[in-house]
């Protein structure tokens, strides 16, 4: 249909969805559109009282989501998207805006207010088009629109309300219901776009792409006037285009929320987030004071716009960065092995010769290593009066993560990478040819037997220290990803040293957690428990693939499923499903791949170890869990090592 002629024009472009919603992801994926998912960090805290109409709030939130990702990617991801899509869905009834419920009581309040009434579902959509300039600036062009759908609920009994709420489905959905799932049973009729209620107005979106790419000179450097487009009177669209040789970008008429074009220079100063709505006067001032932001660019045969010399420079920098990546890793590993960061924490301001004496290494080698660490942002130099040589000290990054005694130290995991993963990846060519792990080829390294723990106690302890340090960095985000305050018991399956368990009881004082792991792990884990000694966390020795699982309200799987064969994965999930009663929760935490398996790189690079398991996307995990009777309630990308998913036993 409308989208088909556009897909070819998007080929080769980096299209990004600034949302972690599995429903929006599925809607767009079904069109054949290829895109990456980069969830927005924009905090949805806009003051609803500033908006004259509900749809304006949804549109502004969508804009801020899309712009945050568009601004962040050149800095954090080192790549500039061609298009960023942001969306926000709200439900309105009796003049109130209903977003996602915060708990069951909030869900009850929302659903009760909808019972027996017609309400409106608005989805605001923002499309940000990004253009890189040869001065390292990025120009943004913004198109926004909204769609409204009318929905009528049946009269809902108390029993029906609570049965639906206890299913867990309302918790991550605007208005507290999902029309495409169990929530469809509550609906009498729908007037308008059904997919808009699900979370994304696909038909309207396709029409906008058709207008942008097929019916206006939107990308032409010869653009001489601003363009206004409207789908219809009610669902109008604003497209902001910089006039040639003019300093004014003109918003859609009568729109108090029209946004100017944005110009951002790559660098640390452009990382600030926009978390507030400008007044109309502020926006008009910005519009009239803005400089020309659209520079002529060259269009290639495939429709992409670029400056040839800029592309070559950027691409070469990226290639060299990849080629030098292993050198940077080894520099970090070596500095960590010599405890350079611990030394400079205890004795800041040493010069290269003094550090060489302390770590018992050559002056030349030490100086070269220190300078490399400075270039990587791990150390910094400081000139001191009366000292002929520069002295070194830790950066904030090193102080937080690289000292062995830091609260969130990754020192043990870095050593694991050096001693275990580095030798393993040196045989990557063989691993790719054979499609199998190369652990046997590096068996001489005692740390290799991660799976069987068959080496010495010292090797087991080093491995557990590595897992402990990496888990500690992610523990708070995993523990606070979802609200578990209404549950009393949890079982952390394969919980190793209990890092997640101890973080959970810190957040939820009424919760008690059982950590289940192999006897050898439980025995050594006592060394990590001395600092806690809390009776709310208990350890149970057992094999989760063979032994009976402890009874619990919530089962927790952190970095477990990706390492299991399909057979073992289904054995474990079947055991958990059998142990669960309806309403029990399953908290899954893994690296969730993007749907098209184009990222994140940390998950795909980890897969190169060729373990017997598999890295998966959130949607893939949801499908597997559904086969075992679990419904995915919410997926959260934590912007940490691990993402999280909450499921409920149906």
CB within 8 Å of 518: residues ≥ 6 apart = 453, 541, 542, 543
Return the H-helix or E-strand segment holding 213: helix 202-214
> What span, in angstroms and rounded, lies between the C-alpha atoms of 466 and 126?
43
Do the beta carbons of residue 113 and residue 94 sit within 8 Å? yes
Q: Tokens 């998007």 — which residue?
A: 10
The distance of Cα 502 from the centroid of its chain, to the nearest Å, equals 24
One-character DSSP codes across 275-322: -SPPPHHHHHHHHHHPPP-----EE-TTS-EE-HHHHHHHHHHHHHHH
- E-strand spans in 6-111? 15-17, 36-37, 83-93, 96-98
One DSSP character per residue, 505-544 reads: HHH-TT-EEEEEE-HHHHHHHHHHHTTT--TTEEEEE--T
* List 88, 517, 563, 643, catalytic entry: 88
Bridge partner list, 126 = 86, 144
Phi, psi of 248 (to 5 degrees): -120, 130
Enumerate residues 6+ apart whose C-beta is below 8 A from 289: 247
Could you list the beta-strand ranges (E) of 63-186. 83-93, 96-98, 118-132, 137-153
43 closest CA partner among 61, 16, 17: 61
Q: Please enumerate in sequence order all residues whose Cβ is within 8 A of that of 1, keeping only pairs 6 or more positions apart, or say none.
A: 206
* Dist CA 44 CA 227 (whole Å): 29
- The burial of 8, by beta-carbon neighbours within 10 Å (0-12 exposed, 13-18 middle, 19 or more buried), is given as exposed
CA-to-CA distance for 536 and 501, rounded, in angstroms? Answer: 9
Kind plus residue range of the DSSP H or E element containing 68: helix 54-72
Element (H, E) at 365: helix 363-375
Identify whether 419 is a catalytic site residue.
no
- With residue 340 as reference, give the H or E element that holds it: helix 340-346
Q: Name which of 176, 227, 168 is nearest 650 in CA terms.
A: 168
Q: Which residues are known to be catalytic?
A: 88
């Amino acid at each position: 249909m409308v989208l088909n002629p556009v897909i070819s024009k998007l080929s080769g472009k980096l299209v990004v969805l600034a949302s972690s919603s599995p429903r929006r992801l599925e809607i767009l994926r079904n069109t054949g559109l290829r895109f990456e998912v980069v969830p927005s960090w924009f905090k949805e805290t806009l003051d609803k009282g500033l908006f004259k109409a509900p749809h304006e709030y949804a549109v502004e939130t969508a804009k801020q989501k899309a712009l945050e990702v568009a601004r962040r990617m050149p800095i954090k991801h080192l790549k500039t998207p061609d298009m960023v899509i942001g969306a926000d869905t709200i439900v309105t009834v009796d003049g109130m805006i209903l977003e996602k419920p915060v708990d069951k009581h909030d869900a009850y309040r929302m659903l009760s207010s909808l019972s027996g009434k017609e309400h409106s579902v608005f989805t605001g959509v923002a499309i940000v088009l990004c253009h890189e300039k040869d001065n390292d600036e990025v120009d943004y062009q913004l198109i926004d629109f909204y769609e409204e759908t009318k929905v009528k609920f049946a009269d809902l009994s108390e029993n029906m309300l609570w049965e639906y709420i206890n299913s867990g489905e309302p918790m991550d959905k605007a208005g507290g219901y999902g029309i495409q799932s169990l929530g469809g049973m509550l609906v009498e009729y729908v007037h308008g776009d059904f997919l808009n209620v699900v979370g994304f107005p696909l038909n309207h979106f396709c029409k906008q792409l058709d207008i942008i790419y097929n019916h206006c000179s939107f990308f032409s450097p010869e653009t001489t006037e601003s363009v206004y487009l409207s789908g219809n009177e009610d669902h109008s669209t604003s497209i902001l285009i910089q006039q040639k040789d003019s300093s004014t970008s003109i918003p859609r008429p009568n729109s108090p929320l029209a946004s100017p074009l944005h110009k951002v220079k790559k660098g640390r100063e452009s990382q600030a987030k926009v978390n507030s709505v400008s007044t109309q006067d502020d926006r008009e001032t910005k519009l009239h004071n803005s400089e020309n932001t659209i520079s002529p660019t060259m269009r290639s045969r495939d429709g992409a716009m670029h400056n040839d010399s800029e592309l070559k420079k950027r691409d070469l920098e990226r290639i060299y960065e990849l080629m030098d990546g292993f050198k940077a890793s080894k520099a970090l590993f070596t500095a960590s092995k010599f405890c350079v960061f611990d030394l400079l924490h205890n004795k800041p301001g040493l010069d290269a010769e003094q550090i060489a004496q302390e770590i018992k290494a050559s002056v030349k080698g030490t100086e070269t290593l220190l300078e490399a660490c400075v270039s990587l942002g791990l150390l910094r130099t400081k000139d001191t009066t009366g000292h002929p040589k520069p002295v070194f000290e830790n950066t904030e990054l090193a102080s937080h993560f690289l000292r062995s005694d830091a609260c969130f130290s990754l020192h043990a995991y870095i050593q694991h990478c050096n001693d275990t993963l580095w030798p393993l990846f040196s045989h990557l060519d063989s691993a790719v040819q054979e499609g199998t792990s190369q652990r046997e080829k590096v068996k001489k390294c005692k740390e290799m037997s991660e799976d069987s723990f068959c080496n010495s106690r010292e090797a087991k302890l080093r491995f557990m220290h590595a897992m402990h340090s990496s888990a500690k960095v992610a523990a708070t985000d995993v523990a606070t990803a979802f609200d578990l305050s209404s549950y009393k018991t949890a079982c952390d399956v394969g919980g190793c040293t209990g890092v997640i368990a101890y973080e959970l009881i810190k957040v939820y004082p009424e919760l008690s957690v059982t950590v289940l792991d192999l006897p050898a792990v439980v025995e050594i884990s006592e060394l990590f428990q001395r600092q806690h000694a809390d009776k709310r966390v208990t350890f149970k020795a057992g094999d989760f693939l063979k032994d009976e699982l402890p009874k619990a309200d919530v089962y927790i799987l952190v970095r477990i499923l990706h390492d299991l064969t399909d057979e073992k994965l289904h054995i474990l999930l079947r055991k958990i499903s059998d142990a669960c009663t309806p309403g029990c929760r399953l908290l899954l935490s893994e690296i969730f791949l993007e749907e098209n398996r184009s990222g994140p790189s940390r998950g795909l690079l980890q897969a190169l170890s060729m373990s017997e398991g598999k890295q998966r996307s959130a949607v893939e995990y949801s499908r597997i869990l559904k086969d075992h009777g679990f419904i995915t309630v919410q997926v959260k990308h934590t912007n940490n090592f691990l993402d999280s998913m909450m499921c409920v036993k149906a």
